Structure 1
């Protein structure tokens, strides 16, 4: 009789450990800016980020060869809000003026369009192929910066989303860091 109870408790214990292990590995726990490879659900890289935190995408304009900075903040429900664009020259692909509620200014040799309220669930991003100096900037004072070429090949493209990662994704993925 004791042997049957021991086997029963052993099976229950193994079952509970399996459930706990599954929860720990596969239940999302940490929000991140996730770089999905092309149009897939394959995580190419991620940057841990929380609601209210800001990040910037900086790219070299392929014609003007000047930096263009796009500033974003992570909103509730894991959406992305574009807050500002900074550029040095008008031209192809660049805004000509501010819209209602936005602020246009010229500061330190650069044009700023502030108070943007462009909401995105995702951002499509291509790592420059010809002029490949795309950067990701983050941190409380934008003190962290990486060139995307440190992680990706020129010409690669991604879908960026704010989503929760599981511990399994966190452990097996490529974490972007300074």
Structure 2
């Protein structure tokens, strides 16, 4: 009888450890949107190393789209590799730096071969013109307006991190 009780106890402890590991050990890589400078996960997008995504926002002065293209690096940094815009203005590059390429094609300026590496990105979700978008997928086939997931006017810190199941339950999963 004592053998059976020990076996049940061992099984219960093993099951409990398994559940705790499943809940709290990070396993899913995601593009995480943290509210301001907090650890509060507002939303996340499951993503993998080498995946690309775009942030598209309206320039506040000339009200045209600015497209910033990024790739997720294997160390969970974010690399900006291209920026596309229609008009020069405040905050827009007027030329390429050494090692970069500057082109005008299809009515847009392209600054390519960028090597801007970030551990995180700070983003304010548009309030007056809430048209910020997130694009992902091999051909950019998935697109959402950030206002569907994030409060217009609020700002966020975007990072690539491994999330546990528990952390995933705290935020809203972005999907098309």
Question: For 1:12-161, what aligned pairs fall within 5 Å after superposition?
Answer: 12-161=10-159
Q: Give the SS at the match of 1:117.
A: strand
CA distance in 2, matches of 1:70, 1:22: 39
Q: Is the 8 A contact 2:132 2:146 kept in 1?
A: yes
CA distance in 1, matches of 2:41, 2:48: 18
C-alpha root-mean-square deviation of aligned residues, in Å? 1.0
Give TM-score, length-normalised by structure 1.
0.96
The CA deviation at 1:135 is 0.3
The CA deviation at 1:169 is 2.2
Structure 2 residues not aligned, in runs of 5+: none
Deviations 1:57-95 (A, max 9, x none): 000001000000000000011110000000001111111
The CA deviation at 1:102 is 0.2
Number of residue pairs the alignment of both structures matches: 176
Deviations 1:133-153 (A, max 9, x none): 100000000011100111112
Question: For 1:156-167, what aligned pairs fall within 5 Å after superposition?
Answer: 156-167=154-165
CA distance in 2, matches of 1:34, 1:172: 11
